[in-house]
Amino acid sequence: MNTDPASVAYETVNKAIEEGYDVAIIDTAGRLHTKVNLMQELTKIRRSIDKRLPNAPHEVLLVLDATTGQNAIEQATHFTAATAVSALALTKLDGSAKGGVVIGISDQFKVPIKYIGVGEGIEQLQIFNKRAFVDSLFE
């Protein structure tokens, strides 16, 4: 609390390097793309991480809630402008028929879909399978 998120990210990477961890995951708190200062914070977090470990982060996941439908496109526009995104995760496909929007996003922003969420259990966060996904759209 009351600490700059970018410096928390820097300390995280620093600790991971010093203690020899293989992976460090930085999970940012949810933010509305309309909050300019929070979007700028993402850019700053990336810069801080890169300062401690050049070329890091090695993966940046944008997690989109499938139930938001077309609003996900608006979110992707702003997030990819604030920081380079390397892959998408699409959650809540169990509660929505709107998951098809992610195909447009993936095509428009040239970002692959890596994970999908189909429920709240850990085993329900799954690796994206494009064939199964397309089949499910036509069921």
Ligand X SMILES: Nc1nc2c(ncn2[C@@H]2O[C@H](COP(=O)(O)OP(=O)(O)OP(=O)(O)O)[C@@H](O)[C@H]2O)c(=O)[nH]1
Which residues are at the interface with ligand X (CB under 6 A)?
Answer: 29-30, 63, 91-92, 94-95, 117-120
From the CB of 60, what's the least distance to ligand X, in Å? Answer: 15
Nearer to ligand X, 30 or 54 (CB): 30
Residue closer to ligand X (CB basis): 5 or 95: 95
Nearest residue to ligand X, scored by beta-carbon proximity: 30
Minimum separation from the CB atom of position 18 to ligand X (A): 27
Considering beta carbons, is residue 46 or 92 the nearer one to ligand X? 92
Euclidean distance between CA atoms 100 and 103, whole angstroms? 6
In the complex, minimum distance from the CB of residue 116 to ligand X, in angstroms, rounded to a whole number: 7
